[in-house]
Amino acid sequence: MNEQHKSIYYPPGGILIWLLIILEIFTFLGGIMVFLNYRTEELTLFQEAQQQLNPLIGTINTIVLIISGYFIANSIHFIKNGENKKAARSILISLLLGVTFLMIKSAEYYVKIEQGIGFSDNTFFTFYWMMTGFHFIHVLFGIGLLSYMYIGINKNTYHSKNYFDVESSATYWHLCDLIWILIFPIFYLI
Amino acid sequence: MLKEIKINTIILTVLLVLIITIYLLAENKANTSFTIIASLTAVKFIAVSFQFMETKKANLFWKILVSLFVVTFLIGVFVLN
């Protein structure tokens, strides 16, 4: 399989998921660039709006998502090696960390809504809701995928001879990591 | 396999150190923070992509595409800030 990955048509996880990843990260990059362009025009407004976000919560969420990515990466090595129980356990940990991420993000959204900060409050928050919201939906979908893989491994549908779907799902999960790595410092720190 | 998991663990440790460093830099609000935060973000992106997502095993085309993306991100961020 590793030799097969050297072909342009067979990146790890499959070409379709990679095309999706390239499309998605460039779309988010476009959003980030437009956000930064507006930021230069309304710098004071953006800096004041950013003060209303808690960078510590964003940092904790980053840590949660990165650790989740670590476990899903390990699960691929376990399943390739025929260690299905370890693979399932790693996916379950990833899944629970993904749920933790969404719970923290939901709590943050709830506080913002309680404070009356909505989508059309100002340009900063329009971008904040739009981009973190899209990311939220990606993570939610990823949790669905990982749940399906977890069930599949436990039923022995996926094993060392049939793990392509698990690898594709893991690649998708890393996309969620990558998007968050980009948008977290832009909204919370810079 | 064990070797790959060991590398993953090392990369995870590095990523956690980077995340905490970025947070502390942002809290200090130093003038150089922006450049360092953007650069460390690019390093995090490369680490997750190449090690966890296994871009390192992919064809050169995908490696170049991911690297090009990171360069575009850095140029865009530095130009627009």
Per the structure block, which two tokens stand in for A22?
């390239």
Instruction: State the distance between the two ends of chain A, measured CA to CA, in whole angstroms.
Output: 41
Q: What is the CATH number of the domain that holds A69?
A: 1.20.120.80
Contact B37 A12 (CB under 8 A): no
| B56 within 8 A of B63, measured Cβ to Cβ | yes
ipTM confidence score: 0.93
| A63 within 8 A of B19, measured Cβ to Cβ | yes
Q: What pLDDT is recorded for position A1?
A: 54
The share of chain B scoring above pLDDT 90, in percent, equals 72
In chain A, the number of structural domains is 1
Distance CA A189, CA A123 (A): 17
Choose from B28, B52, B70, B71 for mutation: most chain A CBs within 10 A.
B52
Within a domain: A185: yes
Residue A187 CA from chain centroid, whole number: 16
Q: What pLDDT is recorded for position B80?
A: 82
Q: What pLDDT is recorded for position A8?
A: 87
Q: What pLDDT is recorded for position B33?
A: 80
* Structural domain span for residue A112: 14-189
Q: What pLDDT is recorded for position B28?
A: 82
Please, what is the Cα angle at A49 between A47 and A54, to 5 degrees? Answer: 100
* Structural domain span for residue B50: 2-80
Residues B6-27 have a mean pLDDT of 94
Q: Which residues of A touch B15 (CB under 8 A)?
A: 66
- CA contacts within 13 A on the Cβ side of A185: 28
Residue among A2, A55, A69 whose CB faces B48 most closely: A69
The chain A residue lying nearest B15, using CA atoms, is A66
The residue that leads in pLDDT, A84 or B33, is A84
Contact B48 A77 (CB under 8 A): no
Per-residue pLDDT of chain A (190 residues), as tens digits, is: 556 777 888 898 899 999 999 999 999 999 999 999 999 999 999 999 999 999 999 999 999 999 999 999 999 999 999 999 999 999 999 999 999 999 999 999 999 999 999 888 899 999 999 999 999 999 999 999 999 999 999 999 999 999 999 999 999 999 999 999 999 999 998 8
Query: In the structure, what pLDDT confidence band is assigned to residue B31 with cuts at 50, 70 and 90?
Result: low
CB atoms inside a 10 Å sphere around CB A70? 26
In chain B, the number of structural domains is 1
Close Cβ partners of A64 (under 8 Å, ≥ 6 residues apart) = A97, A100, A101, A104
Question: B75 touching A, CB under 8 A?
Answer: no
Contact A25 B69 (CB under 8 A): yes
Distance CA A137, CA A132 (A): 9
Q: What pLDDT is recorded for position B6?
A: 95
DSSP A1-40: -TTGGGSTT--TT-HHHHHHHHHHHHHHHHHHHHHHHHHH
Q: What pLDDT is recorded for position A2?
A: 59
Distance CA A71, CA B48 (A): 12
Q: Which of A28, A147, A54, A55 is nearest to A98 (CA)?
A: A147
Q: Which of B40, B48, B51, B47 is nearest to B77 (CA)?
A: B40
The one-letter code for the residue type at A44 is: T
Q: What pLDDT is recorded for position A114?
A: 94
Per the rule left: phi > 0, alpha: psi between -120 and 50, beta: everything else, B73 is alpha
Question: How close A110 comes to chain B (CA, Å)?
Answer: 23
Choose from B13, B18, B19 for mutation: most chain A CBs within 10 A.
B19
